Amino acid sequence: MTRTAIVTGGARGLGAAICQLAASQGYRLGVLDLRREDCASLIGTLPGSGHVALQADVTDEHSMRAAFDEFGVTPDVMVNNAGIVRFGALLEQSVADFRASVEVNLVGTYIGAREAGRRMVAQGRGAIVNMTSLNAVTPGPGAGAYPAAKAGVAKLTEHLSLELGPLGIRVNCVAPGFIDGGMSTPVYADPRVRQLRGGAVPLRRLGLVEEVAKAVMWLASDDAAYVTGHQLVVDGGVAHSVLLQLPRKVD
């Protein structure tokens, strides 16, 4: 039987990489984003058939419900990938930008997980994978509400795993680190930033969107059947590398 998945923010960046990998593994996809034409363009590049372009705003529960209804079946896998960042120091951040980040990253994830979870309960199985960030583990300055919102997603993931586990539904999240793609593409357009950040990672390079996609699809797979409530950090080891940056002696 063909497995199915819905991926929010699926038309570009990391979401597109997740869709590409899922389709290559035989999934029939609901590619969900703000513009149906963007979803359709991506679907034109995917292997397999039966994929559906879904237009919805993840912060609008009514449009999300309509998108699930349009997909027509309960997804085996729900990937809550849609996200935004509004850069700026917290003292200079507008309340509107702060709220927008929380709405898309945290509330949008809740709405997507709730819509999927309600349907998965009826079939007694399912896997939900949410997207957090290295900022959820160790916040970086100048990222506005993004670290707080993503940390909220991590705790929401744990909470959902407790409530949905007895109903046969696993809920996990992936925290990407310095990834060369997606929302970070403009950051790494600067060669000096690429060199400095890549060099600070214990593996001595930036991560790839395809590597994050593999982590997502592993958590969604039966290979992770006994994993729930977990945040899988995909960062080349940078989150715990503070002593690597601060040597005991200087030559």
Annotation says 146 is catalytic: yes
Positions of the chain with pLDDT lower than 70, given as ranges: 251
Separation of alpha carbons 250 and 93, rounded Å: 38
For the chain, give the percent of residues with pLDDT over 70. Answer: 100
> Residue 101: its pLDDT value, please?
98
> Residue 30: its pLDDT value, please?
98
> Residue 137: its pLDDT value, please?
97
Catalytic residue among 110, 146, 188, 226, which?
146
> Residue 248: its pLDDT value, please?
79
Return the bridge partners of 234, or none. 176
CA distances from 111 to 39, 42, 97 (A): 20, 24, 20
> Residue 1: its pLDDT value, please?
82
> Residue 244: its pLDDT value, please?
87
- Domains by residue range for the chain, with CATH: 4-232 (3.40.50.720)
> Residue 250: its pLDDT value, please?
73
> Residue 228: its pLDDT value, please?
98
SS3 sequence of the chain: CCCEEEEECCCCHHHHHHHHHHHHCCCEEEEEECCHHHHHHHHCCCCCCCCEEEECCCCCHHHHHHHHHHHCCCCCEEEECCCCCCCECHHHCCHHHHHHHHHHHHHHHHHHHHHHHHHHHHHCCEEEEEECCHHHCCCCCCECCHHHHHHHHHHHHHHHHHHHHHHCEEEEEEEECCECCHHHCCHHHCHHHHHHHHHHCCCCCCECHHHHHHHHHHHHCHHHCCCCCCEEEECCCHHHCHHHHCCCCCC
